[in-house]
Chains A and B, each alone.
Chain A
Amino acid sequence: QVQLLQSGPGLVRPSETLSLTCTVSGGSISGYYWNWIRQSPVKGLEWIGYIYHTGSTNSNPSLKSRVTISIDTSRNQFSLRLSSVTAADTAVYYCARDPMDVWGQGTTVTVSS
């Protein structure tokens, strides 16, 4: 059974870069799209973007200029980097396999000095 385990810091300073990693266990990272989604009280569930195992990506236009999603198939991991964060980026961040049938446990990220 495929499981997703998220890792990364829960506190990020304003203007810095948020970095999270999702490790896929119990199955291969190949052949699927892998998503990042966040959830906040203000915006609800918001799709950030996805990456295919080949490395092709797509992201939400509202975040596109700040989002980098990468993949390491040898380690069965994919990662999110969100640059120039502000308090508005405070949220619970999830990774999920497309079509969001498997989710990570969620990481609460707070942007604060």
Chain B
Amino acid sequence: EIVLTQTPLSLSVTPGQPASMSCKATHSLLDSDGKTYAYWYLQKPGQSPQLLIYEVSSRFSGVSDRFSGAGSGTDFTLKISRVEAEDVGVYYCMQGVNHPITFGQGTRLEI
């Protein structure tokens, strides 16, 4: 099973400032098909998680361009260029290269 470790566990950011968080995997998320199956989700308070980034760096439909993903192999990063109040919640990374699919423990973003 691939274990995903997210850091930091919590982040307090002033609106308008950038934020960055990390996700490290115990095994490479690069598949034999050449794609890297790393994803980022945001779970806002009281809501279901919502997809932000798929395959490392592709923004899902409707996601603000303030969000960007990067990384390769086992190390991945999610960056928010300018944090807004609506970005509050818990950010999770997920891997889909191996079963069982696994999630990180989350990074809580506070304003």
- What residues make up the interface of A, taking CB atoms closer than 8 Å to B? 35, 44-47, 58-62, 94, 98-101, 103-106
Contacts and interface: CB of A to CB of B under 8 A. Distances in A.
A106 B100 contact: no
Contacts of A60: 99-100
Given A45-B92, A61-B100, A103 B60 contact: no
A45 B49 contact: yes
A99 B39 contact: yes
B1 to A, nearest CB: 8
Contacts of A103: 48-50
B100 A100 contact: no
B94 to A, nearest CB: 7
B102 interface: yes
Contacts of A62: 100
B105 interface: yes
A100 B51 contact: yes
B89 interface: no
A44 B103 contact: yes
25 contacts: A35-B101, A44-B103, A44-B105, A45-B49, A45-B92, A45-B94, A47-B100, A59-B100, A60-B99, A61-B100, A94-B48, A94-B49, A99-B37, A99-B39, A99-B51, A99-B54, A100-B39, A100-B41, A100-B49, A100-B51, A100-B94, A101-B54, A103-B50, A104-B48, A105-B48
What are the 5 tightest A-B residue pairs by CB atom distance, in nearest-first order?
Answer: A45-B103, A103-B48, A47-B101, A60-B100, A101-B51
B106 interface: yes
Given A44-B105, A45-B94, A99-B96, 20 more contacts: A35-B101, A44-B103, A44-B106, A45-B106, A47-B102, A47-B103, A59-B100, A60-B99, A60-B100, A62-B100, A94-B49, A99-B37, A99-B39, A99-B51, A99-B54, A100-B94, A101-B51, A103-B48, A104-B48, A106-B48
Nearest to A61: B100
A59 to B, nearest CB: 8
